[in-house]
A and B are shown apart, each in its own frame.
Chain A
Amino acid sequence: MKHLLIIEDEILIQQSLKKLFERKGFLVDVSASGKLAIDMILTKEYDRIICDLMLQDISGFDVIEESKKKYSTQDISEKFVIMTAYSSPQVLNKANSYQCRLLNKPFDDLEHAMKVMTE
């Protein structure tokens, strides 16, 4: 079974996504805090990390940077899926530099978004 981590501080989004993925048979951990998420990433093994960019404590990019302690650039591009509601060119550029998948919130097509997140 695939193990997912969802980092999202909007509890409704976080819990809804958790439910959706659990129903599809995934094992899901969640975190509303970036700092806690870093601890989780460093101590547990995840197949996929779905990360919001605007968190309350630190940014999603900080989480990715900290994960470099454990993962190679290649791992990061495969494991991380960035979610954002603020797709300014700067944000897009930075996200592209990690070469990971990017999803704009709100999702236009939920099914498609789920595919991007898990494939």
Chain B
Amino acid sequence: MENRPDSQNQTSPKSLALYLDPDILDALHQDHYDLGAFNLCSLNEAKFALLKKGDRLWVNYSDGEHCDFPYYLNNVKQVLSDFSQRQNPSKDHTDVFDSLIKTNQKIEKRMFSSVPISHGQNVKDLWDEVIKKINSISHECHSLGSLIERVLDVPFLQSYQSSLVILHIKGQTKAEVLGTLWRSEKHKDLIEVKDFNAFYNSVKKSKIKSFSTDSFGKMNLPFNGSFLAKEVLSKKYSLVAIVSRHDFLSYAKDEIELYETCIDLLQPHFERLIDQEFSDKRISELRVCLKDFPLPLRIKDSITDATFLNDLYNNELQEKDIFFSKRVSGPFTLDIYDSDELRHYAFDLFHFQRISLLGELLNTLRHELSNPLFGLKLGAQIYGTLDVPEDSKEIMSEIEKNINRSQLIIENFSNLYQIQTEKKPVAVKKIIDEALVLTKSETREIDKHIHFSEGTEDLTLEVPLIFVVQIIFNLIINASQAMKQEAIRGVLTLDIKTEYDTLLIDVRDNGPGIPEDKQGELFKPFFTTKPQGTGLGLVLSRNLAVKMGGNLEYFAKNDLKGASFRLTLPLS
């Protein structure tokens, strides 16, 4: 529940005996400042405070002069219109200025509604002090964390123990909590965005801005008791600033308004510091990306002649090797050097696109086909049980079998594109069968010899099924395509056997084989002998095999024509 300081006004005061810790007692006796005074000096260097005297508002200048508020307001408007007429104010200027205008409007509004409570303080001096402090800390701090910590230095906040900010940068999955506890302990934490949003909305909706930690258990705030909170929204982020005295007492109205005004005044500085941290982070990320960029590159500043070189750059590279040179921004020129890799990359971007498109396409196909197939299957099942001639029943059962096969193929193909790394015991026979189902059309008119040496059929492997199927699938497709180039009847042989604690799967064809000079290139990325090939199949396959603790190798057999690959996998 929110605290409601307003309610004090409606009830008659009653005496109450309180036994308090001296610290809390001190805090209770802290003066509350008169909000009848506001300093609007943020527009320019002039110092003046605004006072409410009776029904009239007065502007007091620091040198003792004063004028009434309508006159002052006119002055401000004059400054604003002068500014807007200035030629080409920069975007930054306009933004800062806009936020100043908004701040001033808020202060004006609040001032008109505020009721001054006099404690016999020199209001103008106190408020001057607050403004001065805010100005000085905001200039001294170079990070959001330190600014939040220093908020506690503002005169009226000196009895407070903790100051925190909960920041959510748009697009990020977590909100960050940072600040200081007990005026000494630094605090940093991450919370879920949905918790932050709920919190932000409660703060935004609240008119009183005063809360208790009890109501926000999910936020896991690092202290207990009541606290003041004020939300700030900007294009790039939303944040809630919090201060607490770590007690359970409610806050006075003037205290709350003073805090709100403080945060309003600090808003442009929040923005500046967050922007800066954001861009620092981006620059360092960019630097890492450039450093690891897979081609030699150089960025040169034409004014200072400073250069940035990435890891692949070496001194042997010369101006004539520059493949790509472009003015990127201001005085900076980006040079990328020619290399073998470059040709591959430029080339294979297209292949990558094609492959990822294929994955998406397959997914759509799966979704679009599975429903009608299911309908056909149900229909065939039901028609088959009706009172129809025996041969019709047979046809229906054939239809059903074919639909099952289609479903299996779709299922298996889309499994190939899913990242499943779950290890389950899987029968060797099942792996081979699944790979054969997937390659059925590609291996049409090719004789297939599958030899399981004794006992291997019943063996099980503890591996992700999809990994092994993908490897064998690749090998069979490669073999079949190679054999089709020859004018002989293709013979594909799969030999499954064991050697000590290893399972060997040999895939052999009687195609043209791999020329000796090309055998070393086989497992290099983008090496391909096929005009439509990606050159990735074998690389990916070997990576998968290694991931499972095995290997994939080419082995030439002198006595036999064709290519042979051996997949080895550890038996559990």
Contacts and interface: CB of A to CB of B under 8 A. Distances in A.
Contacts of A105: 370-371, 374
Contact of A106 (B367, B382, B407): B407
Contact of B371 (A13, A15, A19): A13
A110 B381 contact: yes
A16 B370 contact: no
Contacts of B379: 12, 15-16
A16 B371 contact: no
B378 interface: yes
B376 interface: yes
B374 A13 contact: yes
B385 to A, nearest CB: 9
Interface string A1-36: 000000000111101110110000000000000000
B375 interface: yes
Nearest to B381: A110
Contact of A12 (B367, B370, B375, B407): B375
B377 interface: yes
B378 A13 contact: yes
B365 to A, nearest CB: 13
A85 interface: yes
Contacts of A85: 367, 370-371, 374
A86 B371 CA distance: 10
Interface string B346-390: 000000000000000000000100111111111101100000000
B372 A106 contact: no
Given A19-B382, A20-B382, A110-B381, A13 B375 contact: yes
Contacts of B378: 12-13, 16-17, 20, 110
A105 to B, nearest CB: 5
Interface of A is mostly: helix
A17 B376 CA distance: 12
Interface residues of B, number: 14
Nearest to A107: B374
Interface string B251-267: 00000000000000000
Interface string A101-112: 000011100100
A17 B407 CA distance: 20
A85 B407 CA distance: 13
Contacts of B371: 10, 13, 85, 105
Contacts, number: 40
A17 B374 CA distance: 11
A56 to B, nearest CB: 12
A67 B5 CA distance: 46
A19 B385 CA distance: 11
Contacts of B382: 16, 19-20
A79 to B, nearest CB: 23
Contacts of A11: 375
Given A85-B367, A86-B367, A106 B374 contact: yes
Contact of B377 (A15, A17, A106): A106
Interface in A38-89: 85-86
A10 B370 CA distance: 11
B433 to A, nearest CB: 19
Nearest to B366: A85
Nearest to A16: B378
B345 to A, nearest CB: 34
Given A16-B379, A16-B381, A10 B367 contact: no
A104 B254 CA distance: 61
A15 B377 CA distance: 12
Contacts of A12: 372, 375-376, 378-379
A11 B375 CA distance: 8
A111 to B, nearest CB: 11
Interface string B165-199: 00000000000000000000000000000000000
Interface string A93-119: 000000000000111001000000000
A20 B382 CA distance: 7
A16 to B, nearest CB: 4
Nearest to B411: A106
B372 A10 contact: yes
Contacts of A107: 374
A16 B374 CA distance: 10
Contacts of B377: 106
Nearest to B375: A12
Contacts of A86: 367
B381 to A, nearest CB: 7
Most buried by A among B370, B375, B377: B375
A85 B371 CA distance: 7
11 contacts: A10-B371, A11-B375, A12-B372, A12-B378, A13-B375, A15-B379, A16-B381, A19-B382, A85-B374, A106-B373, A106-B407
Given A10-B375, A105-B371, 13 more contacts: A13-B374, A13-B375, A13-B378, A16-B378, A19-B382, A85-B367, A85-B374, A86-B367, A105-B370, A106-B373, A106-B377, A110-B378, A110-B381
Interface of A: 10-13, 15-17, 19-20, 85-86, 105-107, 110
Q: Rank and list the top 8 A-B pairs by shortest CB-CB distance, nearest first.
A: A12-B375, A16-B378, A106-B374, A13-B375, A10-B375, A12-B379, A16-B379, A16-B382
